[in-house]
């Protein structure tokens, strides 16, 4: 690991790496809620639990491109709230918190960023992870099953360090 001299550091433009992720799955409504008639909205919150740096295999693929030998794993949790019109005489509106979804996403990153080893940037916490929910599609199957398709964007931003 390289020690960074903070007295000479200059922060340039930040370096970004990203990954798009698509999740598609079905969830059953709890028996305590009425059948769903019309979907109104799906509110989704995402929380990053932790990140891990993993050293992968270094090599060259069949096309001749150098493979990146580090991966950052982002562990996250999705919280979903489904709003719908119930299949009741009064067509009442219901908001249901669906099961939490735990998952992870993997982003390939180079071993050095502007000559600084990635391990140094990672362990000095000179990065941040941003998340964005790009699009959500919902549908109802047989009044009890909700189908969700959620498109996520994970963005890792490293501070650019020069003069160290």
Taking the model in full, what pTM does it have?
0.79
Residue 2 lies in a domain: no
28: containing domain: 18-162
pLDDT by residue (tens digit) across 78-88?
Answer: 999 999 999 88
Mean pLDDT along residues 42-58:
91
Asked whether residue 39 is domain-assigned, the answer is yes
Domain assignment present for residue 126? The answer is: yes
Task: Give the least confident one: 80-84, 133-137, 146-150, 157-161.
Answer: 157-161
Please report whether residue 3 resides in a domain.
no
**What's the average model confidence in pLDDT over 107-132?**
88
Identify whether 85 is part of a domain: yes
Question: In this predicted structure, what is the pLDDT of residue 14?
Answer: 66
Write out pLDDT tens, residues 5-49. Answer: 333 343 445 678 899 999 999 999 989 999 999 999 999 999 999
The verdict on residue 6 lying in a domain is: no
Q: How far apart are CA 70 and CA 153, in angstroms?
A: 19
142 domain residue, yes or no = yes
Strands in 29-163 per DSSP E:
36-55, 70-86, 93-97, 101-109, 112-113, 116-117, 127-141, 145-158, 161-162
φ/ψ region of 78 (left if φ > 0, alpha if ψ in -120 to 50, else beta) reads beta
Return the percentage of the chain with pLDDT > 70, whole number: 82
Number of domains in the chain: 1
Q: Looking at the predicted structure, is the pLDDT value of residue 114 above 50?
A: yes
> Would residue 8 count as lying in a domain?
no
Residue 3, pLDDT above cutoff 70: no
Please return the burial class of 61, using the count of CB atoms within 10 Å of its CB with bins 0-12, 13-18 and 19+.
exposed
The pLDDT of residue 99 is 84
In whole numbers, what is the pLDDT of the chain averaged over residues? 84
């Amino acid at each position: 690991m390289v020690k960074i001299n903070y007295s000479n550091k200059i922060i340039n433009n930040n370096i970004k790496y990203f990954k798009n992720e698509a999740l598609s799955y079905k969830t059953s409504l709890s028996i305590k809620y009425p059948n769903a008639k019309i979907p109104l909205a799906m509110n989704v919150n995402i929380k990053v639990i932790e990140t891990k740096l993993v050293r992968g295999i270094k090599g060259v693929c069949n096309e001749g491109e150098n493979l990146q030998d580090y991966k950052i794993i982002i562990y996250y949790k999705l919280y979903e709230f489904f709003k719908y019109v119930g299949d009741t005489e009064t067509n009442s509106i219901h908001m249901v918190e669906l099961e939490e979804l735990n998952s992870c996403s993997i982003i390939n990153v180079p071993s050095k960023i502007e000559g600084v080893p990635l391990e140094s940037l990672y362990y000095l916490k000179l990065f941040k992870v941003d998340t964005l929910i790009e699009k959500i599609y919902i549908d109802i199957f047989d009044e009890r099953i909700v189908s969700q398709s959620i498109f996520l964007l994970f963005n890792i931003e490293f501070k650019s360090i020069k003069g160290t």
